[in-house]
């Protein structure tokens, strides 16, 4: 059976309407994702555009055909606006409507043939801009982004083929290009574009939500540093690298002194500000490869690859002094917050991260017992399995 143009237009309209309905349904479940609504509206407008073109072809009414071309051009402009919205880039609605307005005016002034030519040029520009926008956001490393770039680029290429077809004069039959013309590629490609881009846009936004959830789970919400689980995972990898290279690794544990009293006396807002101040002080002293995480409450850990215990102690002492100086006053409250710490270093290749944290923790509580606001080093000279002793460091 031979496929005629009206039948194909019905297929296109149905496919676009289904894609638009799916996108709007997804948006209704997550109203913050404006891109879903924009893409759904674009698909529905395109579905209406093909219906208008079919009516113009069947009724021989140029006005319907011009309306159809305008609606299809609106799909292209909203595709551009959606691509920009996905990456939180500005996309003025005026710019999105300028192209379709130019298409409509050309159709009214010169007829459907000229409206088609203008629509192809403007549509290719919008869709190429959308492909470029998706491409520029590839640093986000989402798998669904590449298909969106490819499909948008292919859609723009189809428009360019349509422009070439118009230039050689092989596109007009009763006001619309025929299936047999080179332009006929657009009729088939538009179905693939509508269904493919809708599916991959949904996939991209789902990937982004999952990535954001994973990042939130790995990041302490108050301070922005690594959570306990994320720190232990990254510190474990650092330890393995140092073990492979035969390099030492030092671990520091910190605990804010009398933090409950700070909260009780000045309120939790001041307490949170104290924690944030401590993280700022530590972050300012870290090297790019050092690790820093919140172990829970007011307790923190730092891992220093390729660092001796002497160098780690000097670093920890600098953190202690800077924090005490910076926390004399917080939010107009005289807080005088201090911190105690313990430092350990790997002495044997088989030592685990858990053992190093235990050594540092023992040194930390030795510092607490000796009056707080000081840093202690762990004495790890005893045989493996023996109790760790904490030595005092001036």
pLDDT of residue 217: 81
DSSP character string of 33-71: -HHHHHHHHHHHHHHHHHHHHHHHHHHT-HHHHHHHHHH
pLDDT of residue 386: 45
pLDDT of residue 177: 59
pLDDT of residue 392: 39
pLDDT of residue 174: 47
Provide the residue-wise pLDDT of the chain in tens; the chain has 394 residues. 455 666 777 888 988 999 999 999 999 998 989 999 999 999 999 999 989 988 887 888 889 989 999 999 999 999 999 999 999 999 999 999 999 999 999 988 888 878 888 998 999 999 999 999 999 998 888 999 999 999 999 999 988 887 877 676 655 544 555 555 656 677 778 888 988 999 999 999 999 988 888 877 889 989 999 999 999 999 999 999 998 988 999 999 999 999 999 999 999 999 999 999 999 999 999 999 999 999 999 999 999 999 999 999 999 999 999 999 999 999 989 999 999 999 999 987 778 999 999 999 999 999 999 999 999 999 765 544 444 444 334 3
DSSP character string of 137-187: TGGG--TTHHHHHHHHHHHHHHHHHHHHHHHTT---BTTB--TTSTTHHHH
pLDDT of residue 115: 85
Domains of the chain (ranges, CATH numbers): 5-218 (1.20.1070), 228-391 (3.30.70.270)
186: left (phi over 0), alpha (psi -120 to 50) or beta: alpha
DSSP class of 373: S
Round to whole Å and give the CA distance between 71 and 104: 9
CB 193, CB 154: distance < 8 Å = yes
CB-based contacts of 242: which residues, under 8 Å, 6+ apart? Answer: 248, 249, 305, 306, 346
Cα–chain-centroid distance for residue 78?
22
Round to whole Å and give the CA distance between 218 and 304: 20
Cβ-based neighbour number of residue 294 at 10 Å: 24
Q: How many residues appear in the chain?
A: 394
pLDDT of residue 179: 57
pLDDT of residue 183: 61
Catalytic residues, which ones?
Answer: 298
CB-based contacts of 354: which residues, under 8 Å, 6+ apart? Answer: none
pLDDT of residue 350: 78
pTM here is 0.69
């Amino acid at each position: 059976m031979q496929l005629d143009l009206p039948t194909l237009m019905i297929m296109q309209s149905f496919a676009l309407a289904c894609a638009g309905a799916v996108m709007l349904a997804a948006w209704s479940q997550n109203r913050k994702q404006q891109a879903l609504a924009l893409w759904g509206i674009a698909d529905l407008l395109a579905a209406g555009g093909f219906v208008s073109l079919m009516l113009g072809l069947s009724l021989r009414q140029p006005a319907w055909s011009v309306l159809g071309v305008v609606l299809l051009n609106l799909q292209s402009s909203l595709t551009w606006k959606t691509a920009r919205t996905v990456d939180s880039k500005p996309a003025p609605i005026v710019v999105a409507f300028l192209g379709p307005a130019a298409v409509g005016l050309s159709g009214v002034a010169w007829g459907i043939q000229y409206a088609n030519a203008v629509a192809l040029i403007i549509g290719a520009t919008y869709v190429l801009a959308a492909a470029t926008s998706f491409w520029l956001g590839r640093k986000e490393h989402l798998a669904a982004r590449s298909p969106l770039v490819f499909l948008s680029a292919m859609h723009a290429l189809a428009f360019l083929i349509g422009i070439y077809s118009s230039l050689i004069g092989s596109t007009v039959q009763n006001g619309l290009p025929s299936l047999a013309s080179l332009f006929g590629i657009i009729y088939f490609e538009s179905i693939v574009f509508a269904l493919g881009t809708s599916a991959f846009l949904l996939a991209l936004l789902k990937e982004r939500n999952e990535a954001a959830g994973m990042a939130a789970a790995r990041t302490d919400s108050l301070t922005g540093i690594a959570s306990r689980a994320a720190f232990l995972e990254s510190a474990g990898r650092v330890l393995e690298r140092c073990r492979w290279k035969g390099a030492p690794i030092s671990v520091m544990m910190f605990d804010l002194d009398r933090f409950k009293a700070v909260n009780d006396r000045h309120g939790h807002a001041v307490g949170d500000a104290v924690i944030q101040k401590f993280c700022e002080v530590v972050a300012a002293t870290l090297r790019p490869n050092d690790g820093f995480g919140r172990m829970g409450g007011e307790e923190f850990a730092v891992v220093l690859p390729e660092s001796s215990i002497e160098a780690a102690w000097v670093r920890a002492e600098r953190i202690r002094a800077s924090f005490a100086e910076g926390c004399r006053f917080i939010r107009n409250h005289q807080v005088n917050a201090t911190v105690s710490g313990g430092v350990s270093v790997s002495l044997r290749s088989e030592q685990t991260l858990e053992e190093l944290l235990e050594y540092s923790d023992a040194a930390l509580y030795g510092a607490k017992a000796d009056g707080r606001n000081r840093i202690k080093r762990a004495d790890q000279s005893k045989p493996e399995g023996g109790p760790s002793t904490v030595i005092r460091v001036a």
